[in-house]
Each structure stands twice: as structure tokens, then as C-alpha cells.
Amino acid sequence: MANELRDTHTTSNVTTNLDDVLNDTSVNGVWLSTPTHTHLELIERVASAGKHIAVEKPVAATLHEIEAAYDISEKYNVRLFCSYQRRFDPSYVALQKATQRGDIGSLQSIITVFRDHPMPPIEFLRTGGDPFHDLAVHDIDYVCNLLGDYPDTVLASGFSLHPELKKANVMDKATVWLHFKSGVVCMMDISRGSSYGYDQRVEVFGENGMLQVQNQPKTSMVACSPKGITQDVHSHSFPERFNEAYANEVDHFVDIITNGVAPKVTRKQAKMSTIIAEAAKISAQKNTLVKLVDGPNIDDVDYEYAQVNYQ
């Protein structure tokens, strides 16, 4: 579907004015690709024009803004789709289906690796994009959706490897540990810089075996000789690694608009991924275990006792 849309819209108008898009009656949906702090304002403008909205994670900068964004979409009777690309990647989807079929029996542990490449500019990292909300949140969403549950305990650590980031007190390396009520434990390794390419992996261990999503090399060629066996380098960065996933996201957004299907990422899931990422950030900053407990207000964050309440 996404390819068909691209093929049939090669002569579409191009504009740098959002009002042109919002006033165009032939436009039914808008995909926002702007800095996070602009999302809420743009979501309100698009929703008030009666257009459906898609946005790559996160929906907005804070929990209050995320709540407001969904309230706005409901007010104007439009759909708000928050996308996490792992939900649409064929390999990650295949692993989830195998898990749900019971291929490896009862789950025991999960390991995820997120090592970014290339490292973003120092200027960007100084002003935002901490490893928990910018990187770990992708695996948080995937793992919670895989298990159909949210962790009750979060423990994280983080530090700065780059001298300039250390001076600015910005983390570029982190580890996250999530404990679920079922007993499953998830361990996440996160890094802003990987010298050998974009490193994205997940391993799920169960009583009857193990499932993995491994890195995808740039090409599938393998060279074998008496000196050893080699293959091509990893994908350069996220646009190459998740190219098919992004196309599938567009397909899903089209399905939301044309067929009225519900967005795969729900309002609660969008909020919970942010809550858990914030819990990890609190844990790393305060060097403490964070308990996620049921509470009356999803936005309650008790920094003193390091408790994040959710419902």
C-alpha cells in the first residue's frame, strides 16, 4: 500500500506551509516529523482541521502533554497514531508471534541491545535525547507489548563516556533492568556510539529454547576462505535498518484512515512507555531502585521516594 501511494502521488503538490495542507480537502491524514516539543501544538492544529495524525514516538514531551494530545484527538474525533518501529519490523513481529505460539514455552528472561550509529552531534545530546527516553523506550515498548504487561520494578545506571557530555552531565551509556510480576527479567544495554555500525538485537529465553532477532548486514554476502569467514558490515543507521518497518507504519496509518482500524499503539501504551523510561532515568540519576505501583493518578511521580504511579 505504501509503495502504491508513493507511485500514485509522484506529482503531488509540495508546500512549506502547514495551512496549505490543513485547508486541502483531499488530505485526510498528516504525519508529523518535527521536534518533540512542537508536537502538542501541531497535533491540536491538525486535529482541529479534522485530519488524522501519525507521529513517531513520543506523542509529546511530557505525560501531561501526552494526555492532552489524546484528549484533543478525541475532542475532534480523529485518530492519533504513535508509532514504534519495532512493532512493524518483520523480524521483531516474527519473534513476537513465535513467543505467543509458545514455541519456547514459558518465558524466563529477555536481553535487548541498542547501540546507536552514527553517534548524534554533541549539540543535540546536550539539549535532549537522553538514552532512556530516546533509545531505551523503543525496547521498553516492544518488551511490554510482547509480554502484555508492565514492570513492577526498574533499576538503571548511566554514565558519560564522551568528555564534553560528562562536563554537561549528559549520559551516553546506560543499562536498564526491568522486573515483571510474572518473574520475567529484561536487561537492556544502551549506547550512543557503536564503532562497527547500527547494533539492534533482542534475545528471548524460555524453558524450551531461545528466540533472537539479530543484526542485519548491509548485504547478505558471506566470504569464506582459509583465513576465516566474513560478512558485510551492519546497517548504517535506523533509516536503513528499519526501512521496511517504516513502510509498514505508513500502511497501518493508511488503514487507520481508510478502514477505521484502531492504532496498534494504544493511549495507555504510549503513556506507559514514557513512564517506564522516566522511571529508568530517575533510577540512574538517584542510584536507586524504582517501584512502579498502582496509583490514582498516572502522572504522579514521587521523586523523593522514587515511585512512579500508574494505572
Report pTM. 0.90
Q: Band the pLDDT of 304: cuts 50, 70, 90.
A: very low
Q: What is the pLDDT of residue 254?
A: 97
Q: What whole-number distance in Å separates Cα of residue 85 and Cα of residue 89?
A: 6
What pLDDT, on a 0 to 100 scale, did the predictor assign at position 130?
87
CATH for 87-215+270-310, options being 3.30.700.30, 3.10.105.10, 3.40.50.10190, 3.30.360.10: 3.30.360.10
Instruction: Give me the residue label for grid cell 506529482.
Output: 11
β-sheet bridge partners, residue 302: 307
Nearest Cα to 152, choosing from 297, 289, 303?
289
Q: What is the DSSP letter of 301?
A: E
Q: Say which residue the cell 482541529 belongs to.
A: 48
CATH 3.40.50.720 residue ranges for the chain: 2-83+243-265
* Helix, strand and coil percent figures for the chain, each rounded to 5: 40, 25, 35
The answer, yes or no, to whether residue 32 has pLDDT greater than 70, is yes
Q: What is the pLDDT of residue 302?
A: 45
Taking only the tens place, the pLDDT of each residue in 273-290 is 999 999 999 999 999 999
Name the 3-class secondary structure at 57: coil
Where in the chain are all domains bearing CATH 3.30.360.10? Answer: 87-215+270-310
CATH superfamily, domain 2-83+243-265, is: NAD(P)-binding Rossmann-like Domain (3.40.50.720)
> Rounded mean pLDDT of 84-92?
98
pLDDT of residue 120: 85
